[in-house]
Amino acid sequence: MRSRFRNDRQLTVRMTVTLFLLGLLYVAFVAALIVLLKSWVLVVVIAAGVLIAQYWFSDRIALYAMHGRIVEREEHPQLHGVVDRLCAVADMPKPLVAVSDIDMPNAFATGRNADHAVLCVTTGLLRRLEPDELEGVLAHELSHVAHKDVAVITVASFLGVLAGLMVRFAFYSQLFGGRGNKDQNTAAVFLAVMTVSAAVYAISFMLIRALSRYRELAADRAAALLTGRPSALASALTKVTGDIGRIPTKDLRTAQAFNAFYFTPALGAQPGIANLFSTHPSLEQRLEQLARISAELGEAAVPDTSTPTPGEAL
């Protein structure tokens, strides 16, 4: 499926390289587990089960975790109207539209491909954004689907999940194993599995974070060019980031597990080295890029809703 979202060769290359490196890491990880656990059936069953669950049920898992529900046009006509217009302009299939009844202003897209995608927004986002700002956010999320990076992030994340599950499995099998297992050999295997799993998790974590930060910049760029209103997207980014920063941390904890999928992360500013571990580029980076695009398009820095730009075909 080819849409009218601007192709991003750098994003494609980064996704390919990330999947290749994670694939090599995955093969090495499974081989190490088979040697250590001496049960290839167990390792293959766990690995296959996690991959299938991640790939086929990622949309349902994300919706369930965020209390999202599919909504029809009669319930949210304005939201469906914006999605319809964007999909028509982008020449792509319309995803399912969902709403999460939480105050945190955010949005995300998930699903294994464009024909099985879900676009979800929170009621907090709908209450806070103006129509042109909402359009920019939805275009950003639809670009993730069009560029296929939603599916790539979903598959890439599975290795880290598998490594985490193996750490737990090794821990509990050591803790609750029979007496015959509690010897020096078992302890050595336990330590080796924990070490290998932790190393795999750390490497996959960094690779995914690096790809995630770039894909957010790519989505901002694609959305700005599709709508012709980079300043509206910049306004939405500033507003949403500021509002999330005022939400108590305890209310964001549930959402943080899905930060890689969100329009903007469910946490406050991350100064210093913490940016290296962030799923998103800094607000400053995103605004600087949008300002450059705005200048290239000849758009005013401040949105002027009374005089639509030629690129505003929505």
Strands 117-122 and 96-100: parallel
Sign of CA dihedral 71, 73, 78, 79: positive
**Residue holding tokens 């400053």?**
284
Helix axis angle for 230-245 and 131-146, nearest 10°, is: 100
DSSP 127: H
Sign of the alpha-carbon dihedral angle for 9, 258, 267, 145: positive
Residue 141 annotated as catalytic: yes
Residue 127 to residue 133: CA distance in whole angstroms: 12
| Residue 178: half-sphere exposure toward Cβ, Cα within 13 Å | 1
Token match 């050591």: residue?
174
Is 144 annotated in a binding site? The answer is: yes
Question: Which one from 133, 135, 141, 299 is the annotated catalytic residue?
Answer: 141
216 labelled ligand-binding: yes
Tell me: is residue 140 an annotated ligand-binding position: yes
The three-class DSSP label of residue 291 is: helix
**Active-site residue set:** 141
Sequence ranges of the binding site for Zn(2+): 140, 144, 216
Sequence ranges of the binding site: 140, 144, 216
